[in-house]
Structure 1
C-alpha cells in the first residue's frame, strides 16, 4: 500500500552526512521505495552538521539525516539560530564510538582511571565532537562526567566534521573524539587511535540519527511528511531483515560516493559488533522499536542540556514542546500504511552504563 498517489513523483531534497547510518536513505532510493510512495528523493551529501542545520533552516533541504540532539538544540536556540523543528522518525540506534589516542586507550584498558589516563587536571586534553548539542557531544560528556571528569572545564571540547577526525587524531591535534562509524574504524585502520567504548555500551538502544525537518514543512505538507516516513521505514526494515542486505547497502554507500572509504570497511561497520549483545548493536528497525520517536528520549536530551547549564529549569513545558517536535500522528499513520508494529505508549525505560535508569 502506498502513502501517496501522484502521477509525477514529488521531489524532496534530503541532506545526509557520510556515516553508515545514512544507509536507509540510500536504500530507499536504490530499491525505488520512494517512487512507490509518490516521492523522488534527491540525496545531497553535506560537509558538516552545521551545513545540514543551515540548509534545513534556509529551505535548501526539505529534510535530513540529523543528529537527534541537534534537533532539540535548534528548537531551543542553544548556541545558534532557533527554528521550530520536527522529528519524523528515528533512523537508527547505537553505532557510534568514543576513540582515544593509543597511549591513553592502552592505559584505560589496563585499568587506569580515566582522569589519570588523560592526565587531568595537569592539563586539559582536547577532545572532539561533531556538533555542540548533538548526540556525539552528549555521549562524550556523559561518559566523561560518569568517571569524574568535568567535560565543560577539565577538557577542551572542539567541533570537527566526522571525516576529519581520524587525521586530526593522527596529527596529534586532538587526543580523542566521539563520532559515528566508519570514522572510529578508520582511526583504528590508521593506527591513530582505538575505540574505548561503543555508544551502544554506554546506552544500549539509544536514539542516534533521526529524520528531521522544519515543523512548518511537516505541518503544511502532512501527506508528504507521512509518505517520506513510510518510505524510510520500509528501508530501515529491509536493512534489518537479512545481514546480506547490509552488505549490499555497504556496496551502495561506496558506489554512490556517499562515503569515501573502501566497501570492506563500510560492511564491517554495518555488521559490527558481533556477538550476543543485541541491545548494543547498530539497529535500523527492530520491528519498529528503533524508529518510534519516543518522547522519553527527547526528555533525556533536554535534561542533559539543563545539566550543563544551557537551559533554565523546566517550568513544566517540556512535554508540550516534545509533543510538537515528535510527529507521532504522522509516524503512526506511516507505520500503519507499511505494516510496522506500534507500541502501546509514547515512552520507554532505558538503562545507561553507569546504572542510571531513565524513564
Structure 2
C-alpha cells in the first residue's frame, strides 16, 4: 500500500478524549502503519474547523456535530466532510455552579424548580455554556434542559466557550453552568466551584462523542494515508482500554503541558469510571469513557451521525429535514473504516444502525429520523 502522505497533521483540543490520537503517536502505532502523526494542540473547536478547511490540519480529534454542521453549512460555508471513525463514547458532563448548588440546584429537576421560583421572585437570565454551536456538548445541554422542561432557546441564554476556559468563566460568574468534556467538569468539582448535575452517559448511555474528522477532499486525495491513520488510532484505543494500568499510563502522558496541561488527578478518576459529583454523591459508573469496546466504540454508525442532524432540525439550526440517510452515507467513510479495521484486526458490526433509549424515554434507532425530530414537545421547528 503506497502511503500518499507520510506525515499527517492532526489537531486536538485539550480534553481527556484526545487520548487515542496522542497515544497512537506516543506508542508508535503510527510508525507501525507507515505514517508519522504530527500533533497540533488547538484552542477552540472553531479553530479546528477552520484549519481543516484551509488544509493546515489533515485530520482532527473533532466533535461529531462539528463535522455534520460544516457539511450542512450551519454557521459557515458548506464543505464536504468525512467521519473516519469514532474515537470514544461517554465521558462528558453538565456542571452547575456552586452558587446554584447552594440554592438547591444540583440536578435537572431541582434546576427547573429553582428557575420556576425565580421567575416569580426576580427575573434574571440564566447562562449556560457549550463548546460549539452544533457540537455534541450543545446537543447534550439542550437535550437535558428540554427533558426537564427548560427551553434551551427561550428560558436560558446559551454561549460558546472553549472547553479549557470553562472553569475560569464559571469562577468569574460569567455563566451558571456548562457542558464540556472531561477533565473540565471534574476540575470544577476539584476546585470546589461546581457540581456535576449529570454525565452525558446518563443522557444517552454509550453515546457517540468525538470522531476522527477530515475534509472529504483530503480523504479522496489520501485514502491510504487515512487507512493507516485509522488503523493506528484503532490500535491505540484498544491499548488504552485493555487495562486500568494502561489508562493510568495514558492519564500521566496526556496530563502533560503539550496536551491537556492539568493535574493527573483531574483526569484519572473518571478515566477509571470513578465519579464524585461534588454534592455528596460518589459512584462507579457503568458507562465510563471508553475508547474501543471491542471496536463497538469506534465503529461510525450511520444512526449516530443522523441523530445529530435530528437535533439540528429540532432546534431550528436546519429549516428543513435533510435526506438524513444520504448525508450520513456521504460523510461516514464506512468502506475505508472497514478496510482499516481489518488492518488493525478489529471486528466490524454488520449493521449500520443501532438502537438507544435516551434520558427522556425517547428511543432512537435511525429508522424514521423525520418523525423523531418532530416528536419532541420542546423544540424550535418551523
**TM-score of the two chains, using structure 2 as the length reference:** 0.89
- 2:314 match: 307
Moved more, 88-97 or 188-197: 188-197
Whether the aligned pair in 2 keeps the contact of 1:5 and 1:37 (CA below 8 Å) is no
1:344 aligns with 2:347: no
- 1:267 match: 268
1:195 aligns with 2:193: no
- 2:131 match: 130
Query: 1:321 & 1:356 partners in 2: Cα distance?
Result: 23
Deviations 1:75-118 (A, max 9, x none): 11111232110000000000100000124235234895432324
Whether the aligned pair in 1 keeps the contact of 2:166 and 2:178 (CA below 8 Å) is yes
- 1:237 match: 238
SS at match of 1:108: coil
Structure 1 residue corresponding to 2:10, chosen from 11, 14, 38: 14
Query: 2:146 & 2:61 partners in 1: Cα distance?
Result: 28
Query: 1:139 & 1:178 partners in 2: Cα distance?
Result: 8
SS at match of 2:105: helix
SS at match of 1:344: coil
- 2:256 match: 255
Following superposition of structure 1 onto structure 2, how do residues 306-345 of structure 1 map, counting pairs within 5 Å? 306-314=313-321, 317-345=323-351
SS at match of 1:287: helix
Whether the aligned pair in 2 keeps the contact of 1:5 and 1:38 (CA below 8 Å) is no
Tell me how far 1:276 sits from its aligned partner: 6.1
Whether the aligned pair in 2 keeps the contact of 1:9 and 1:40 (CA below 8 Å) is no
Unpaired segments ≥5 residues, structure 2: 276-282, 366-382
- 2:168 match: 167
Deviations 1:222-267 (A, max 9, x none): 1111111111000011111111101101111123520111122222
1:293 aligns with 2:300: yes
- 2:105 match: 108
Whether the aligned pair in 1 keeps the contact of 2:96 and 2:106 (CA below 8 Å) is no
Q: RMSD of the TM alignment (CA)?
A: 1.8
Whether the aligned pair in 2 keeps the contact of 1:97 and 1:195 (CA below 8 Å) is yes
Query: 1:166 & 1:56 partners in 2: Cα distance?
Result: 27
- 2:187 match: 186
Unpaired segments ≥5 residues, structure 1: none
Tell me how far 1:271 sits from its aligned partner: 1.6
Structure 2 residue corresponding to 1:43, chosen from 16, 39, 43: 39
- 1:80 match: 76
Query: 1:109 & 1:258 partners in 2: Cα distance?
Result: 31
Whether the aligned pair in 2 keeps the contact of 1:9 and 1:35 (CA below 8 Å) is no
What is the count of residue pairs matched by the alignment? 353
**TM-score of the two chains, using structure 1 as the length reference:** 0.94
Following superposition of structure 1 onto structure 2, how do residues 148-163 of structure 1 map, counting pairs within 5 Å? 148-163=149-164
Query: 1:168 & 1:23 partners in 2: Cα distance?
Result: 25
